[in-house]
Amino acid sequence: MKKTKEVKVVDLFCGVGGLTCGLKKAGLEVVAGFDSDETCKYAYEYNNKAEFVCADISNLDSKEIAKYYKKDDIKVLVGCAPCQTFSKQTNKYKDRVLDKKWTLLNYFAEHINNIEPDIISMENVPELIKFDIFDNFKNNLIEKGYYVSYQIVNCSEYGLPQKRKRLVLLASKLGQISLNKPNPRKRKKNVEDVLKGLPPLEAGEINEKDPLHRCPKLSDVNIKRIKQSKPGGTWRDWDEALLLDCYKKPTGATYSSVYGRMRWDAPSPTMTTQFYIYGTGRYGHPEQDRALSLREGAILQTFPRNYKFVKDGEQITYKVLGRQIGNAVPVDLGKIIGESIQEHIKINCQ
Model confidence over 176-216: pLDDT tens digits? Answer: 999 999 988 888 999 999 999 999 999 999 999 999 999 99
Please name which of 48, 60, 58, 52 lies closest in space to residue 35, comparing C-alpha atoms. Answer: 52
pLDDT of residue 84: 53
Question: What are the boundaries of each domain within the chain?
Answer: 7-183+331-348, 191-327
Q: Which of the 8 DSSP states describes residue 83? A: -
Q: Which of the 8 DSSP states describes residue 284? A: B
Structural element, H or E, at residue 21:
helix 18-25
Residues β-bridged to residue 74: 7
pLDDT of residue 2: 47
What is the C-alpha separation between 66 and 323, in angstroms, rounded? 29
CATH classification (class only), 7-183+331-348: alpha beta
Phi, psi dihedrals of residue 69, rounded to the nearest 5°? -105, 145
What is the C-alpha separation between 57 and 260, in angstroms, rounded? 38
pLDDT of residue 235: 84
Please name which of 345, 346, 331, 347 lies closest in space to residue 158, comparing C-alpha atoms. Answer: 331
pLDDT of residue 87: 47
Please name which of 212, 196, 213, 125 lies closest in space to residue 161, comparing C-alpha atoms. Answer: 196
CATH classification (class only), 191-327: alpha beta
Please name which of 257, 255, 260, 232 lies closest in space to residue 245, comparing C-alpha atoms. Answer: 255
Taking the model in full, what pTM does it have? 0.92
48: left (phi over 0), alpha (psi -120 to 50) or beta: alpha
Please name which of 245, 251, 253, 203 lies closest in space to residue 224, comparing C-alpha atoms. Answer: 203
| 93-129 per-residue burial string, b: 16 or more CB within 10 A, e: under 16 | eeebeeeeebebbebbbbbbeebebbbbbbbbbbbbb
Amino acid identity for residue 65 in this structure: I
pLDDT of residue 243: 87
SS3 for 348?
helix
Q: Treating both helix axes as pointing N-terminal to C-terminal, what angle do 41-48 and 18-25 enclose, rounded to 10 degrees?
A: 10
Give 10-residue mean pLDDT values along the chain (350 residues). Answer: 78 98 98 97 98 96 98 96 57 49 86 98 94 95 98 96 97 98 91 97 97 97 95 89 74 68 97 95 96 98 97 95 97 98 93
User: What is the distance of C-alpha 11 from the center of its chain?
Assistant: 13
Cα separation values, 155 from 17, 165, 296, Å: 18, 6, 17
Catalytic-role residue among 80, 83, 155, 215? 83
Please name which of 224, 233, 223, 221 lies closest in space to residue 203, comparing C-alpha atoms. Answer: 223
SS3 for 70?
coil
Please name which of 178, 124, 117 lies closest in space to residue 147, comparing C-alpha atoms. Answer: 178
What is the C-alpha separation between 299 and 275, in angstroms, rounded? 12
145: left (phi over 0), alpha (psi -120 to 50) or beta: left
What is the C-alpha separation between 16 and 48, in angstroms, rounded? 9
What is the C-alpha separation between 127 and 48, in angstroms, rounded? 30
pLDDT of residue 1: 36
349 is catalytic: no
Classify burial at 302, counting beta carbons within 10 Å of its beta carbon; exposed 0-12, middle 13-18, buried 19 or more: buried
Residues β-bridged to residue 206: 214
pLDDT of residue 90: 46
